[in-house]
A and B are shown apart, each in its own frame.
Chain A
Amino acid sequence: MAQEAQLNTLKNAPPAPAVAAAVTFDVRQLNVWFGANHVLHNVSLAIPTKAVTAVIGPSGCGKSTFLRSLNRMHELVPTARVEGRITLFGRDLYGRDVDASLVRRRVGMVFQKSNPFPTMSVAENVTVGLRLNGMRNKGLLAERMERSLQMAALWDEVKDRLDANALSLSGGQQQRLCIARALAIEPEVLLMDEPASALDPLATAKIEELILQLKNDYTIVIVTHNMQQAARISSETAFFYLGELIEHGQTNRIFTNPRQKQTEDYVTGRFG
């Protein structure tokens, strides 16, 4: 109904004009296949800049795949195929001359299970993205490391053990370390795939607090299965179901006044 109308407008719309900085990602008719499996159907939405957009939906609805298509991480699966158009600040993400590695340096990612590199210290983990992309200046590296750890609200806790192995940190600290690692390469966007789902409530609260601070400087897209979390931290929400974008809009409205029945069923907990 409303969604179809939206789709029709988009289909007939003229090509996107020079993009205002208010929109980070402009997704048009995104379709993703893994082999013969059609995982995302005709997804279109715009992701606002320097705000938190939550992506919610039941398991298997394609929200992780959608997230990964924003930094071309789904391409790591050899049978992945994409049709449609995603632009990042106006530039086509999937253009013929676009290098996926460069995309990922602008669009960072934090994963569900924290994954600091096990053979490296805390400091080495934070700067690994910079070092392996060619930065050698030790002074600059140290400066960026401290800044990233500060931004990830981890500096005070680890400043005395920067050389300790990364795995010696607690689960919540490791996840913040991964955030620092992602921030160190100075992306413009941070994608987060259920970053707190493996953490206890206290650590989760710290992460949510961190996100609210980070949104002043970064565009954040967060996949979460925790609706209260989405309601707490995001300004926009997108609801996915069975590979389709059912509804998206302001978080308040989605949760209090959803337009689609499926959305309503999901947010009221009628299915999960």
Chain B
Amino acid sequence: MNAVAASKEAGEPLGIGPAHAGKLGDRVFRLTTWLMAMVVLVLLALVGWTLCKGSALSVKEFGWGFLAHSDWDPVNGNFGALTFIFGTFVSALIALLIALPLGLGTAIYLTELAPGWVRQPAISMIEMLAAIPSVVLGVWGIFVLVPWLREGPYPLLLKYFGFLPLFRGPTTGFCILSASVLIAIMILPIITSIAREVFRAVPEAQREAAFALGATRWEVTRLAVLRYSVRGVFGAAMLGLGRALGETMAVTMVIGNSDKITASLLSPGNTLASKIANEYAETLKGLPLSALFELGLILLLVTVGTNILAHLLIGAMGGRRPRGN
């Protein structure tokens, strides 16, 4: 009685069948593709390890104090990341403050209100916005946005809100707030597109039920759509935040490059990313270089942490759509 036993872990709908049936071609192919897929894991390990190794000197020297001090003094060998952590979070949060309502409003418009012929072109344009390279936006920022902000909105801000420590002049326009505006522009597409998907996932029946009760358009949206989308909207916000935290070039070009913490949003500053970028073409070694790597490590941890949180909220990470049939 011949018996053939072949089993693999359950879950995959179509595997290659019993391992012993593979011929040379199949085995080589499988090995090759496996190696290539492994590269991703190796890369991740490499990134983590390189940053850790690079920042080891700085971590040993400063310990946790690195996060609490704000001087960046290559001459005396004193380094601290506080200014940049502050700048990173403040600029990202303000960008989110600007982009989230705009993105949600746009998403509502696109899913609930827009006539059919408007929808696709608008979506395409927003996706094109996402494709703009950061440096291009930076150029536009330096020569168009910042001068305009400096002439128009900033004096108004100073005039009416100057009593707040947030808005202290004079300002060249190259400041944290300008960077936040650029970041906001860059994260609008991702917030809008995720919010759109979240709203579209709400079944039509919910809306119809609300309409049938005589609700107005806005009430339908509020009751049927928004209420069930809170989690997804949070996820969109987190993803936008994750993207905002890592934004480099446009920020570097308009943030003014200052290593001091100030309360005023109209003063220059630096983010983790822009500080690293500003060391471009410097020859660094030893402690300054290590401090820079530590900045990179902090940046990586912050961005990755935010992204993981975002995906937990949306539930997409490591996932895969069901196979087409």
Contact = CB atoms under 8 A, between A and B. Distances in A.
A–B contact with Cβ pairs below 8 Å: the answer is yes
Interface of A: 29, 35, 75-85, 92, 94-95, 99-101
Given A99-B21, A99-B23, A79 B3 contact: no
Interface string B21-33: 1010000000000
A250 to B, nearest CB: 29
Interface string B4-41: 11111110111101100101000000000000000000
Contacts of A94: 2, 4
Interface string B85-120: 000000000000000000000000000000000000
Contacts of A85: 1-2
A78, A79, A82, A83 — most chain B CB neighbours (10 Å): A78
Contact of B7 (A76, A79, A99): A79
Contacts of B8: 78-79
B6 A76 contact: no
A79 B5 CA distance: 10
B15 A78 contact: yes
Contacts of B7: 35, 78-81
A81 B6 contact: yes
A79 B2 CA distance: 19
Interface of B: 1-10, 12-15, 17-18, 21, 23
A75 B17 CA distance: 5
B18 A75 contact: yes
Contacts, number: 51
A75 B10 contact: no
Contacts of A75: 6, 17-18, 21
Contacts of A82: 3-6
B2, B5, B8, B18 — most chain A CB neighbours (10 Å): B2
Contact of B17 (A29, A83, A92, A100): A100
A81 B12 contact: no
A4 B1 CA distance: 20
Contact of A76 (B1, B15, B23): B15
A42 B13 CA distance: 26
B2 A95 contact: yes
A31 to B, nearest CB: 9
A79 B10 contact: yes
Contacts of B13: 77
Given A35-B10, A78-B15, 9 more contacts: A76-B15, A76-B17, A77-B13, A77-B15, A81-B7, A82-B5, A84-B3, A85-B2, A94-B2
Given A78-B15, A99-B21, A99-B23, A92 B10 contact: no
A85 to B, nearest CB: 5
A78 B17 contact: yes
A100 B21 contact: yes
Contacts of A35: 7, 10
A94 B3 CA distance: 8
A83 B5 CA distance: 8
Contacts of B1: 29, 83-85
Contacts of A77: 13-15
A29 B1 CA distance: 9
A77, A84, A94 — most chain B CB neighbours (10 Å): A77
Contacts of B21: 75, 99-100
Nearest to B23: A99
A25 to B, nearest CB: 15
Contacts of B10: 35, 78-79
A77 B3 CA distance: 17
Contacts of B12: 78
B23 A81 contact: no
A83 B15 contact: no
